[in-house]
Amino acid sequence: MFKKYHLAEDAKIKTSSIPGPKSIALLKKQEELESQNRSYPRGIPLAFGRAKGSVVEDVDGNQYIDFISGCGVFNLGHNNSYIIDGLKKSEGLITQAVDFPTEAKIVFMEKLSKMLPPSLRGNIRINFGGPTGSDAIEAALKLARIVKGRQGIMAFQGGYHGMTTGALSVTSRIAYRNGSIPLDGNVSFMPYCSPYRCPFAKNAQPCGEECIKYFQNCLENPHSGISKPAAILLEPVQGEGGTYIPTKGWLEKIVEIAHRNDVLVIFDEVQSGFFRTGKLFASEHTNALPDIVAMSKGIGGNGYPLSLILYKKELDVWAPGTHIGTFRGNQLAMAAGSLAMEFIQKFNVEDHVKEMSSLILERLMSIKKQFFNIGDVRGIGMMFGIEYVKNKETKEPFPEMARAVKKRCYENGLLIEIGGYYGNVLRFLPALIITPDLIANGLAIFEKANIQAS
Ligand code: PMP
């Protein structure tokens, strides 16, 4: 159905080796000029030229099926023509208006408000800050602390929330936190419901109970050593952590315990939101209701930078100018975001995601059966994780194998990501408008890469 939005329906490798000569030349120039900090081209040494839908082309003309989607940004594919054509009509649009009202902004906010789950609709305020997901997290933490007059935050193990100091303080990965960076000390980390790697008991039944008890004890035991926090912050589905999907009912229980203790609930939907899981918010697959939601990535329609928090009206107590910044709401991103919402409704993208998601999961499950080192396959909407282990019984992580498969994938024309607590989870974030042919061809490359790497 969405065929015309993609550059092609299969990968095409033209050069005798990957990277091709033009990529190598640009990578070399990049190395001379750009910071040592660069990371993606170390894992996928390519230089890109153009892209459409779920296919990107490198500067040598090789075409790759894209299951990374700009880290979950291109939810409707690269350069979706509905969005690009729509934007042409807004030629001359003021692109930076700080926080003055514009038509583009009001339309965007109205459309987003109408899409909210009924329990939030009509009862929220939207705040735009800097253009990154990290900034939305900073805003959410600041607002929660002002509202409650408390400094503490409870975050969750495996959570990724960004790289600015506040966002990094609630991100659990030790390597990112690096001992020499002064971080916010008012953060405690709770175990997240990660059924394949339960920190309490292997294969606990029903999974999730132990970490709920632990969380409750930390909040309610007068000797827990943790002062009552302003808020808890968590991803309803962990992205970078390795696509961990909590068991049914877990999120509701965590939220209920937080609320019972007068603690606010912040959902980080930067990655899992904007229909990535088939619904506006991943939390809509549950009955859990947040007080504050952080959004970014997909909301800019075509990868244009935009982030926001939305929160219950009664929390709107901060003084004017409490969270300011120059780039508060790129108008082009808002116009593109509105077109993206229109597209999603008009073409019933939610149903398409459901269908394509089952197709991918079914195929991944059958691939899992063939390979001794694939310990687990999980997915929801267009968020998938394939976890590599040395041994299915011990579940010893196998990051080397994940890296080897990823390498074979891009060499054969498929772009995928690595994440997971131990760097051993391959992650797929395909566009929501992926087609059955792109899925079949992409997963054929993935299967072949597993054979080559085994
Ligand atoms: N939260 C989540 C869940 C994310 O996945 C990310 C980015 N991967 C961020 C926050 C940070 O967003 P940004 O990189 O735009 O600052």
pLDDT tens digits, 36-72:
999 999 999 999 999 999 999 999 999 999 999 999 9
Sheet arrangement for strand 414-415: 48-52, 55-58, 63-66, 414-415
For residues 200 and 146, the model is more confident at: 146
Answer whether 273 contacts ligand 1 (Cβ < 6 A): no
What percent of the chain is modeled with pLDDT above 70?
A: 99
- Considering only CA atoms, which residue is closest to atom 12 of ligand 1? 133
193-212 pLDDT, tens per residue?
999 998 887 666 678 889 99
Best residue among 73, 296, 307 to mutate for probing ligand 1's pocket (most ligand atoms within 8 Å of CB) is 296
pLDDT at residue 363 is higher than 80: yes
CA of 448 to the centre of ligand 1 (A): 31
pLDDT of residue 374: 98
Q: Which of 154-158, 295-299, 329-333, 411-415 shows the lowest mean pLDDT across its residues?
A: 329-333
pLDDT at residue 345 is higher than 90: yes
Answer whether 134 contacts ligand 1 (Cβ < 6 A): yes
Q: Which of 68-72, 180-184, 234-238, 260-264 shows the lowest mean pLDDT across its residues?
A: 180-184
Answer whether 162 contacts ligand 1 (Cβ < 6 A): yes
Q: Across all residues in the chain, what is the average pLDDT?
A: 96
pLDDT at residue 166 is higher than 70: yes
pLDDT at residue 105 is higher than 70: yes
What's the pTM value of the predicted model, to 2 decimals? 0.98
**Across residues 227-237, what is the average pLDDT?**
98
What does the angle CA 143 – CA 146 – CA 148 come to, to the nearest 5 degrees? Answer: 105
